[in-house]
Amino acid sequence: MNVMLLTIITLIYLILVAYTGYVAWKRTKSAEDYMVAGRTTHPYIMAMSYGATFISTAAIVGFGGVAGIYGMGLLWLTVLNILVGIFIAFVLFGKRTRKMGHNLSALTFPEFLSRRYNSKFIQYFSGLVVFLGMPLYASVVLIGMARFVETTLNIDYTIALLAMALIVAVYVIFGGIKGVMYTDALQGTIMFFGMIFLLFGIYYLLGGVTEAHQALTNMAPLMPAEAVQTGATGWTSMPSLGSPFWWTLVSTLILGVGIGVLSQPQLAVRFMTVKSNRELNRAVLVGGLFIFLMTGTAFIVGALSNVYFLQSTGQIAIQAAGGNADKIIPLFITTAMPLWFAYIFMVTLLSAAMSTLSSQFHVQGTAIGRDVYETIFRVKGGSTVLIARGAIALAVIIAVILGFILPGNIIAVGTALWFSLTAAAFLSMYVVALFWKRSTRWGAIAGMVVGTLVSSFWLLFVFKKTSEALGISQLLFGTPTLISSAPWPAVDPIVIGLPVAAILTIVVSLITQPPSEEHLEKCFEGT
């Protein structure tokens, strides 16, 4: 380990982060600044913040490692990320969210839904879902970074976890959304160039694009027996249709994140930080290119790492990583890449983790301060920001605790589950809020509450990956899953919870009294 080189790179990075956080703190003067950056964010900053928030160590380390198991089929997630997460999100959802949020003077995503449907219950229920559910997502992002630091620098996992959590907490608590977005833009830029080098690097190591992909195709007979028995056919082909392996890849990893991105509170609030649709249009190209490079590179490198490890160690990637997919990307970087790049890539991952964590902690804090505390107790003013800052500190503590107790191979699964839960809880009511004037308060509440409950039930008692790990089904009913017949234990909660929520939202809206014309005119003015 080159201590001097590592110190120089890390110090430069931390100085840049500290400076951007300081600038944000100086420019944060009001609650609107703290929540939505005064609604005057530059399109580059907005696009890079959105992308850097979306793409974290969960995508690079977690999903990159999972690609080492599932192969190139995971690239369908990249397609969905660009089509749904960027184009549809910015062009269709973003413009209406920005304008409607401005019309309703909403500062958070739960508040946006609450004011659209004129329901305080929606605001504090949504706020509680965010605060109680998001720690799982935040913790797996922390784990991803800590694992990389542990592998690359031989630093104790505990120290790495605590140090990163502390750094992020400081600039989020004091800088608010401006602190988050300014540092996101810096970190996203670092991520962009780091991933370009990584993509070119792996193809150079393996002799070129054609040679690398052909070598991976030829490795199909080396697929682990357990994977083959559950439907795997190779790293460059899709699994057998309808098999457990196929259901996990398609429903959890691809659909769970690819569709669930639309309902992410920390991403939706970005649309309310710009002043016009022009900024959103200009942000599409930047965001699309960023997501393409980030996710595409991570998935390609994860899959092709099998070729590298076979040539260098005689093992496939998951075997070389000791059975823990979360260690595949860190191990590849430390063994295949030059030392100087390992340090720079550590900064890349640090950027990815910090950009996502900062947004997660910020949205959890505002969920408690703005959406729960202020809504229930009807208190406004400086105390809201104070409560939000306290909630951020609590969110950091919870994420750190989970970082110590969650099992291995959890990063990608934990991310997908959070995306699935938010889709079931929020997506239906969010879609009809923007595009269907006939949707009602009671329809939104029915879809949100039942979608949340159905998804939670499926996670606890049916979906095998979580029901077995949590053990609640085993404790109460003496069986790890209540439904053992295929394919249900491998079916992601989004496949069950989202359709149920959507049907209820529509049906209940049709049989209940529609909103007043005056309220609808206020909501949809200019959209």
pLDDT grade for 41, boundaries at 50, 70 and 90: low
pLDDT at 92: 87
Peptide bond into 265 cis (omega under 30): no
pLDDT at 435: 94
- Residue of higher predicted confidence among 98 and 312: 312
pLDDT at 36: 47
| Six token digits for residue 323 | 């059975």
pLDDT at 438: 94
Highest-confidence segment of 158-162, 233-237, 357-361, 480-484: 233-237
pLDDT at 341: 81
| Six token digits for residue 310 | 């076979």
Whether residue 464 lies inside any domain: the answer is no
- Residue of higher predicted confidence among 365 and 184: 365
Number of structural domains the chain divides into:
1
Percent over 90 (pLDDT), the chain: 35
Using the predicted structure, report yes or no on whether residue 39 has a pLDDT greater than 60: no
Please write the tens of the pLDDT for every residue from 271-285. Answer: 776 667 776 777 778
| Six token digits for residue 204 | 């150079």
Q: Is the distance from CB of 139 to CB of 161 less than 8 angstroms?
A: no
Write the secondary structure of 416-461 as one string of H (helix), E (strand) and C (coil).
Answer: HHHHHHHHHHHHHHHHHHHHCCCCCHHHHHHHHHHHHHHHHHHHHH
pLDDT at 172: 62
pLDDT grade for 501, boundaries at 50, 70 and 90: very high
Say what the pTM is.
Answer: 0.82
Whether residue 468 lies inside any domain: the answer is no
pLDDT at 178: 56
pLDDT at 25: 62
Q: Which residues constitute the domain of residue 406?
A: 3-422
340-345 average pLDDT score: 80
Estimate to the nearest angstrom the gap between the alpha carbon of 14 and the chain centroid.
Answer: 24
Residue type at 400 in one-letter notation:
V
Dist CA 389 CA 393 (whole Å):
6
Whether residue 183 lies inside any domain: the answer is yes
Q: What are phi and psi of 132, to 5 degrees?
A: -85, -30
- Residue of higher predicted confidence among 154 and 174: 154
Whether residue 522 lies inside any domain: the answer is no
Please write the tens of the pLDDT for every residue from 51-84. Answer: 766 666 677 888 899 999 999 999 999 999 889 8
Please write the tens of the pLDDT for every residue from 110-149. Answer: 889 999 999 999 988 988 888 888 888 888 888 877 887 7
373-401 average pLDDT score: 75
The average confidence (pLDDT) of the chain is: 83
Give the position of tokens 């219950």: 121
- Residue of higher predicted confidence among 34 and 351: 351
Whether residue 157 lies inside any domain: the answer is yes
Residue type at 370 in one-letter notation:
R
DSSP assignment of 482-497: S--STTGGGS-HHHHH
Among 274, 260, 266, residue whose Cα is nearest residue 50: 266
Among 268, 357, 479, residue whose Cα is nearest residue 52: 357
pLDDT at 44: 67
pLDDT grade for 175, boundaries at 50, 70 and 90: low
Estimate to the nearest angstrom the gap between the alpha carbon of 82 and the chain centroid.
Answer: 14
Please write the tens of the pLDDT for every residue from 401-440. Answer: 888 887 777 777 778 788 888 999 999 999 999 999 999 9
pLDDT at 352: 67
Using the predicted structure, report yes or no on whether residue 496 has a pLDDT greater than 50: yes
- Residue of higher predicted confidence among 376 and 259: 259
pLDDT grade for 227, boundaries at 50, 70 and 90: very high
Lowest mean pLDDT among 49-53, 96-100, 178-182, 319-323: 178-182
pLDDT at 43: 65
CATH number reported for the structural domain that contains residue 415 in this entry: 1.20.1730.10
93's CB contacts (< 8 A; 6+ apart) are 262, 268, 271, 430, 434
